[in-house]
Amino acid sequence: MPAHLLSIADLEDGQLESILDLALGLQARPDAHRSTLHGKSIGLYFEKSSTRTRVSFEVGMGQLGGQAVFLSTRDLQIGRGETIADTARVLSRYVNLLMLRTFEHSTVVEMAEHATIPVINGLTDELHPCQALADLMTVRQEFGDLRGRRISYIGDGNNVAHSLMIACARAGLDFSIASPPGYEVADKYLELAGALATDTGAGIETGTDPHAAVAGADAVYSDVWTSMGQETERAQRLADFEGYTVDDDLMARARSDAIYLHCLPCHRGEEVTASVVDGPQSRVFDQAENRMHTQKALMLRLLDRA
């Protein structure tokens, strides 16, 4: 395993699938490893709101016998000017793992440089690798395999899209994305995914047409059009993303057995209609549950306990 999980690209070939195998086993046997992390702790550092990430890490660590400590930047001395480096050094003396949710991706990178414990990226403005683990677990549950499956993402080329694209490239799934002009995935992550895909045979396609993107999809995915920190752009984004709503018509253009995925929280009537997210093809609550199983597996692996 890598020292940290800042990006899915930190995982070498086979490690991602192996984490999913462990997560599926943990779901089947919730009592397994119930005291494996006894005496261990994780710090959960948040600059932004969270429901799923916070609760799934807290409860997941508890189920493994360990302890979670919630750390809000509103309360920490970092909010009054203590450096990231000193915070990393100090927290490394108290806890065994550190998860961070930050605005700047560089904050997580700097924390990992100075921490002497594994650091987990719990979402930055650029990446959301823990989400991608749960996303692929949900595809595994539905279809039994990953290689050769196709995930189509409709909307903003954001943190969730970047990590999903990288995870598909790493695990050998085809990935297509349709975004409005100006909201494409970042070139550096497209290049990274392209490099990973040459090893696994994954196909990575970008474009602007949602209809073209969902053709042949096993899973259709969308995320909010306005991410945390972009609230002042909301009106402009609502206008720019018109035509990018995942609705029944778009789902009908994917495979007949396709599932719908969303990291949540969602906005019904914007990036997805209520008929889709609350409909029979939706797996969004299984996907949310899978955050906990995959993160339990990740914590066990980073601490070399499974």
Which residue ranges make up the site for ligand NVA (CB under 6 A)?
A: 123, 158-160, 223-224, 227-228, 263
Q: Is 131 a known active-site residue? A: yes
Question: CB under 5 to 8 A by kind: which of ligand CP, ligand NVA, none does 227 bind?
Answer: ligand NVA
Q: Name the H helices within the chain.
A: 15-28, 52-63, 84-94, 105-114, 129-143, 159-171, 187-200, 210-214, 234-240, 248-252, 274-277, 284-302
How far is the CA of 122 from the CAs of 7, 150, 160, 258, 292, in angstroms? Answer: 10, 25, 11, 28, 12
Tokens 């921490």 found at: 115
Question: CB under 5 to 8 A by kind: which of ligand NVA, ligand CP, none does 176 bind?
Answer: none
Q: Which of 52, 293, 296, 301 binds ligand CP (CB under 6 A)?
A: 52
Which SS3 state, helix, strand or coil, does residue 257 take? coil
Among 149, 291, 293, 301, the one annotated catalytic: 291
Nearer to ligand NVA, 132 or 224 (CB): 224
Question: Which of these, 261, 235, 236, lies nearest to 182 by C-alpha position?
Answer: 236
**Cα(215)–Cα(150) distance, rounded to whole angstroms?**
9
* Whether 52 contacts 42, CB under 8 Å: no
Q: Which of 35, 51, 72, 106 binds ligand CP (CB under 6 A)?
A: 51
* Whether 209 contacts 215, CB under 8 Å: no
Question: CB under 5 to 8 A by kind: which of ligand NVA, ligand CP, none does 51 bind?
Answer: ligand CP
Which residue number places its CB atom closest to ligand NVA? 227
Stretch touching ligand CP by CB under 6 A, among 37-45, 51-59, 211-219, 239-247: 51-59
Among 128, 162, 283, 301, the one annotated catalytic: 128
Interface characters, 127-146, with ligand CP (x: CB under 6 A): ----x---------------
- Nearest approach in angstroms of CB 131 to ligand NVA is 7
Nearer to ligand NVA, 134 or 250 (CB): 134
Give Cβ neighbours of residue 252 (< 8 Å, ≥ 6 apart): none
Rounded (to 5) percent helix, strand, coil in the chain: 45, 15, 40
**Residues acting as catalytic residues:** 101, 128, 131, 223, 263, 291
* Binding interface with ligand CP (CB under 6 A): 50-53, 123, 131, 263-264
